[in-house]
Amino acid sequence: MEDIRMNEGKRTLRVNCGLACLIKDREGILDNYDHVNINCGTAIISSAINAKLNAKGSVINSGDLHIREINGEIIQLDKGAVIDKGANLKGFFVVAKDKLLVKKDGVKAIEASEGLIAIDTVFYPESADMAALIKISGERQAYPDDAYAILGDQKLENLIANYRGDIKHLWISGRLTAIDRKALEQARSMGLSISCAEFFSYEGLNTEFEDLIICAERILVPDGYEITGKIKDGELGLYGKKVYVDGKFSMTQNDIPALEELEAIIVKGKASLPANAVKTFKSKGKADEYFIFEGRLVEVNGFEQISHSQLEISVKKGEQITLMVNGGLLFDADVTPEDIDCIASLSYNGAVLVSGPAKSELVKKIKNGNGFMGDPAKMEEMTGQNIKDLIGKPDGSSNDTNINLGAYILA
């Protein structure tokens, strides 16, 4: 995505991505900009590009920064990638953007490559020789040579359905879910041994079939609970009397009658609850963590604008609003201090722009804040960004470039 803006005659390239790989600037793209700002999870930058960026006073915010030279053509491997005997990596430099599985017959392909950088973990057979392992930069984890390795989270019934008779040891890099008794009985009758990072099952099934599973962690659900993924507003009444939520749970005041009908609830994740539902929820069960809000929860992801007329409706109704902002929120200049009365609390990660008398009232409502909160006129002075940086200028008349991608490669 590109957005171009004028900013005092200076040109800025802003890149937001998971992976930034800047090795060679063959077309002189960076020469077209006065400043470069990069926000990424992992950055791989050659010494020549690094020198060019430093000369421009560039800013690189990265969780993992590699300054190194790279030979060969760069190839990217996405989620679920497996390197086996069919891989030919000679002359290539590999960037694995997610977990990567190297099969026993794929070790030679790694050895023949120009190198490999892993954003996540590389799983490899324990017999892999050092000639291959030294090519890998990043987290590594070995698995047993006698195991048939499988990447990611798996359900036991799916593994059984695709079972090969010559396999006696399954190794799974992620979670194994086994809540089907029949699948566990089949695994036992086949003489299977299963290793996994995490085992998810009912307490009773775990007791009965514990000898089948080798794992670092067991997450066990009390018998009699209905297991579901995350539950959103209005969905609670769709489930049984005892509910185990394997994920996030959120509800509104309208869901309180359904909550009262439950016998028990366990949330393995965050529970977002209206304040007047907390006592009932705690009497029924528990959650790993809680977010308690007053009135109606309003989440802003991206950029939104709020006017006096919008808030006035809530004020007249006597409605309370909890605001959660991830991005940018602009209060129009006509918003009054009286309008702010309907806001119970404000949490933000980004920018909240408000001016005039309404600002002093809104400050009192801040529960958590990360970023900028204040007058729009002051934001550029303090942060180097303005409102157009948040929302983009529709006519495209700008000299700056914003790029938001999973991976940005310049090679």
Final residue before a domain boundary, out of 194, 221, 248: 221
For the segment 286-339, what is each residue's pLDDT rounded down to a tens digit? 999 999 999 999 989 888 999 999 999 999 999 999 999 998 899 999 999 999
Within-domain flag for 401 = no
Within-domain flag for 47 = yes
Torsion of CA 257, 259, 264, 267, to 10 degrees: 170
Residue 28: DSSP 8-state: -
What residues in the chain have per-residue pLDDT under 70?
Answer: 1-9, 379-399
Q: Are residues 306 and 354 in the same domain?
A: yes
Distance CA 138, CA 64 (A): 10
Distance CA 279, CA 314 (A): 26
Final residue before a domain boundary, out of 239, 259, 293: 293
Q: Where are the alpha helices (DSSP H) in 143-180?
A: 156-161
Q: Are residues 152 and 217 in the same domain?
A: yes
Domain around 321: 296-373
In 307-394, the DSSP E strands lie at 321-331, 343-353, 366-374
Within-domain flag for 382 = no
Within-domain flag for 351 = yes
Q: Are residues 44 and 78 in the same domain?
A: no
Within-domain flag for 217 = yes
Coil, helix or strand for 170? strand
Distance CA 281, CA 268 (A): 14
Within-domain flag for 411 = no
Distance CA 124, CA 145 (A): 9
Q: Are residues 38 and 94 in the same domain?
A: no
Name the domain count of the chain: 5
Q: Which phi and psi (to 5°) does residue 54 adopt?
A: -65, -35
Q: Where are the alpha helices (DSSP H) in 7-140?
A: 47-55, 107-112, 130-133
Q: Residues 4, 400: contact at Cβ < 8 Å?
A: yes
Tell me, what's the pLDDT at 355? 87
Tell me, what's the pLDDT at 384? 59
Within-domain flag for 4 = no
Within-domain flag for 394 = no
Q: Are residues 368 and 300 in the same domain?
A: yes
288: Cα separation from own chain's centroid: 18
Final residue before a domain boundary, out of 293, 318, 347: 293
Q: Residues 322, 295: contact at Cβ < 8 Å?
A: yes
The partner residues of 298 in beta bridges, in order of sequence, read 323
